[in-house]
Amino acid sequence: MRTTTRVSATLAVILSLAASAAQAQSANITATAVVFQAMTVTGARTLDFGNVFPGVAKSIAVAAATSGRFDLTGQASANVNVSFTLPTNLTSGVNNLPIGTWTGCTNATNTTVGCTVFTPSAATTATAFSGAGALFVWVGGTVTPGAAQAAGTYNGTVTLTAAYF
């Protein structure tokens, strides 16, 4: 009889534990962010083809004195993506002058010597700021005047967009 009581008591305790068997568990993740200083992008030099003639294509190389240049400042050594919005024509009133065959080069210092060549486009190109937070981007291209190209001054806009990654 005493043994039976003990068994029953044990069962009662265990059953009561099982009935209220809510159990808690925890898990962690980490929230992370990296704060960078704001970036600046400056159109430092215009891509200038100078005089061109009907029917004669003309190219400006990135190393040329009249290539386009953008100067960027940002977080030292940070990775940055650059992309471009590029015209397909320069315009003079209603007249178009086709432009294309874009060339580009980036460097951490303000020289095209030893710069990293890339092809400017709407797609992103990965590069990085220097240890001093500087980045220089040169742009060249080719204009292709038609044989009957109207005379005049043609221009268009090249836009560089940069974003940390």
Partner 1 sequence: MPRCLTSLAFVALCVAVQPLAAQSTVTGIRNLDFGPVIRGVPSSVSPNDPIRSGRFYVRHIIGRQVQVRFTLPTQLARVAGGANLPISFGATDAVAKGTAPISNPLTFNPNNTQTFNLVTSADFFINLGGRVSPAAGQATGAYSGTITLTCTFF
Look at residue 133 and give its three-state secondary structure: coil
Q: What is the distance between the alpha carbons of residues 133 and 154, in angstroms, rounded to a whole number?
A: 35
* Pick 7 or 117: Cβ nearer partner 1: 7
Q: What is the distance between the alpha carbons of residues 70 and 83, in angstroms, rounded to a whole number?
A: 12
CB of 151 vs partner 1, minimal distance in Å = 46
* Pick 39 or 61: Cβ nearer partner 1: 39
CB of 104 vs partner 1, minimal distance in Å = 23
CB of 40 vs partner 1, minimal distance in Å = 11
Q: Residue 25 half-sphere exposure, CB side, CA atoms within 13 Å?
A: 2
CB of 160 vs partner 1, minimal distance in Å = 17
* Pick 36 or 98: Cβ nearer partner 1: 36
Chain-centroid distance of CA 130 in Å reads 16
Q: Which burial class, exposed, middle or buried, applies to 30 when counting CB atoms under 10 A from its CB (0-12, 13-18, 19+)?
A: exposed
Phi then psi for residue 18, to 5 deg, are -65, -35
* Pick 36 or 91: Cβ nearer partner 1: 36
* Pick 31 or 113: Cβ nearer partner 1: 31
CB of 27 vs partner 1, minimal distance in Å = 4
Binding site for partner 1 (CB under 8 A): 3-4, 6-7, 10-11, 14-15, 17-18, 21-39, 75, 78, 164-165
Closest C-alpha among 83, 80, 71, 75 to residue 127: 80
